[in-house]
Structure 1
């Protein structure tokens, strides 16, 4: 346990004694819903006295422990000092139904909003996002924390061109080395090492099992150590999604054909002698590539092989991705095709906006 993780626990115990009840409407003007999930919801609000815009994150008291709420709040307040991490604003309180804290508001939505399905986003914007996420994740890792929930919905935009993004939602953050039950779920973001827990009580695939079956699975539950390699895998999948608007596979499983194609390519690309050494940038040039990666340059393929290493102990750290920035990631033909698709999408959006404006004018 690092000094930062020890300090975080101490701060949670201290702030538990000073959390005060407060009426949201008395102090804030709530404007609109920004997002919601299993944790609760986030609302855009303005402080009535100061006029400061902020995001209020609401956690239902019936499903949230006070300690987990205070842990996320204090982590965001005191340890998320990197410019690409969402920071709490020092306001935390309770109502009869919720625990609430205020954080920086990102007024341009999240990454999910700008990734066009089957098209993705512009390569320059993608590289800017990757650069900033590398810094944000490296900062957390240096303090002994692992994010564990990197996905488009948790990357917030401070401008429309992705010149400034912020990684947020720290509800899944754990200290490195913490022992947790392994959970497998059907998603490309789930690491391959988690498949050992496929069918466990905690996994999504077993939600409809009867009680006897759940009891048996609970007894064989797999426990693992939380490691930064989890974030590296998610960064690789997210980068693919940003560039293509799709995922490299439906799930990271031994019976997923697309993932098996990737494993075949990976095994050919990685020779035994480079298992402990960093592969040279662009080294995959000339090797048969998995079909879903054929649109990428050797530079980008090398990046994906480093982050999406099925062996967690050899998976590269997020900061290693910085050396792949600056060069072309998409093959020229694919780049032109995607640009045409983006133009068509923008044209369709402009037509929809014009029709909506005409409709409002008629009314």
Structure 2
């Protein structure tokens, strides 16, 4: 099958990861895949690292000259490669691919929405998704409900595909756990609370720090430690350290920086936390923590209610509730073990193979 994956995402975020991982799965399965992204982007760099075929077009520009140039380049690629399926992972270029689809360029069009923004339910947007696109993929039930109830999209055009994890790369690694815990000064009997994610306000590092400070006061357990697996992006490490100092956690916290072996760092946790204030429509970090059999608690944002049982969820930005949930997880090993069993059931259907199979079922259905 000949497939275009249109990933006009400048940063290597969850949307970019979802699309690139899917592209890799399709390519490894023997399909002819072309990744189309914007020049000079992290997505372009990562696509090359993954061994994917890449073309760059300035798809996000509103400048008339650049827009005309981009359209001509798109037209040339379609004529040259004759794709059977075009999958647009961002909205900026979706309209133009839709026009070419309607004038008979011979491909089927998929719109994948992996972002948190709900589309406007106006006539034009409903027409674009229901009459121009052959299918719409969403990555969480909240977005699915919006398309069905607000956008009035027919059920047979909507596909909920959560994504998946490469289980050959991500699985609990006891040797890696011991190595990382030794490197960062965690003792064997320490209870390490871990958060995996870039340093950004949306990820909720501040709320986790405040919640853990409350938990330490209530539990009075000196074995509790904090492991922040990530590196500065929108939030500086200096700001993170100031939050730690304000809450008296600087002496019990380790910051990984860019982690070469993410699986080992995840394995070093005893309890994982997703503290996001919003977003998490794909939740790559959550999937990786769960498949490594680490008990995970989270805020109830985005896709997280799809992935975790209600007893593992707290409201976003609610420091008190997060502190209580941390206390429960720290004090009760049976609670942690039950979460791990729940994670196993969830992840049994979220491998890379499952991701590929569901996507291929979609592509084949619209071609047939």
Asked if TM exceeds 0.5, the reply is: no
Higher relative contact order (CA 8 A, sep 6+): 2
Q: TM-score with structure 1 length normalisation?
A: 0.29
Q: TM-score with structure 2 length normalisation?
A: 0.29
